[in-house]
Amino acid sequence: MPMQTVRFQNTIRHSCHVHGRGYWSGQPIQLTFLPAETDTGIRFVRTDLPGRPQIRAVSENRIEMPLRTRLHQNNAEVDMVEHVMAALYGMRIDNCLVECDASEMPGLDGSAHAVTLALQNAQVERQHKARETRIIEEPIRLGDQRQWLVAMPADDHRLHVEYRLDFGPNQSIPSGIAACALTPRNFAEHISAARTFISSKDAQMLKEKGLASHVTDRDLIVFGEEGPINNTLRYPDECARHKLLDLVGDLALCGYDICGRIIACRTGHAANGRLAEKIRTTKPKINIAVKAA
Ligand SMILES: [Zn+2]
């Protein structure tokens, strides 16, 4: 069992804003990130609705939706939260109010880059209470032969994440493996700017259904038979890195730090979210000596 050094909780020192339009709805939205007290967690606040309902970003409020993560509480929803959650979790911001004036988070460039930059500029503020950790003590496995997730004990006190992307042979979307120890530096430098992607066939199907009609191949990576259309990749393995970003955003709904090694193969938000729920509801078996560094 690794020696556990518990860290203090963090919030942001200053408020910050990010604005854009939702991919699915096309609606403009402004996000305002505000500092919050210890043990607040991440809460979305719908400032456009009467009573300004709050939605806690935890796995029990997750609703299964295709291709995105939606949260529901107090008769209110927020949609496409995964990239915002990835940025907060990746930057170790534990307590934050995220005010929003529409339900769907901004699509931006398809990555978490703008939110990460805004949070970096708002600066991390250390608080006077330890952050709780869930330690993976026994292997957890979800899924089947093709799509699976495993969580295993780590031999250090960190969270290691790995995503294996593989659509099979002769696909224009490149297969790849992205992995790192999740630290704010690794997240900001290697994961946050990886953009979401779609095949031109799927993009066409969405348009025919009248969805995401304003989104163009400049707003995310659209893969044709020959590769990205009107776009160049930021990294050769940008797609695998983006799936790693999504995994981080889904694990964030666990609401705790995680100590362990998590490998995801071909999974989407639904399976990732189920693992977050499993980790969240697993009672810690050992007492952690709080030795705040
Ligand atoms: Zn994504």
Given a contact cutoff of 8 angstroms between Cβ atoms, the answer to whether 239 and 197 are in contact is yes
What is the percent of the chain with per-residue pLDDT over 70, rounded to a whole number? 95
Pure H helices in 104-190: 113-122, 184-186
Does the pLDDT at position 40 exceed 50? yes
Q: How far is the CA of 264 from the centre of ligand 1 (A)?
A: 14
Q: How far is the CA of 82 from the centre of ligand 1 (A)?
A: 7
Query: Which pairing describes strands 257-265 and 159-165: parallel, antiparallel, or unpaired?
Result: parallel
Q: Tell me, what's the pLDDT at 211?
A: 73
Q: Tell me, what's the pLDDT at 68?
A: 84
List Cα–Cα distances, 193 to 17, 197, 291, in angstroms: 18, 13, 34
Q: Can you tell me the mean pLDDT for 279-285?
A: 80
Residue 182 burial by Cβ neighbours in a 10 Å radius (0-12, 13-18, 19+): buried
Q: Can you tell me the mean pLDDT for 98-121?
A: 97
Q: How far is the CA of 183 from the centre of ligand 1 (A)?
A: 19
Does the pLDDT at position 290 exceed 50? no
Q: How far is the CA of 197 from the centre of ligand 1 (A)?
A: 8
Rounded to whole angstroms, the Cα distance separating 249 from 199 reads 22
Please identify every residue annotated as catalytic: 269
Q: How far is the CA of 291 from the centre of ligand 1 (A)?
A: 35
Given a contact cutoff of 8 angstroms between Cβ atoms, the answer to whether 244 and 111 are in contact is no
Mean pLDDT for the chain overall? 91
Does the pLDDT at position 95 exceed 70? yes
Q: Tell me, what's the pLDDT at 291?
A: 45
Q: Which of the 8 DSSP states describes residue 236?
A: T
Domains of the chain, each with CATH number or no CATH? 9-130 (3.30.230.20)
List Cα–Cα distances, 3 to 151, 261, 287, 290, in angstroms: 18, 15, 11, 11
Rounded to whole angstroms, the Cα distance separating 100 from 85 reads 14
Query: pLDDT (tens digit, 9 = 90+) per residue, 148-207?
Result: 999 999 999 899 999 999 988 878 888 999 999 999 999 999 999 999 998 888 888 887
Query: pLDDT (tens digit, 9 = 90+) per residue, 15-24?
Result: 999 999 998 8
Q: How far is the CA of 128 from the centre of ligand 1 (A)?
A: 33
Q: How far is the CA of 27 from the centre of ligand 1 (A)?
A: 18
Does the pLDDT at position 287 exceed 50? no
Q: Tell me, what's the pLDDT at 225?
A: 86
Higher local confidence (pLDDT), 27 or 219: 27
Q: How far is the CA of 242 from the centre of ligand 1 (A)?
A: 6
Q: How far is the CA of 249 from the centre of ligand 1 (A)?
A: 8
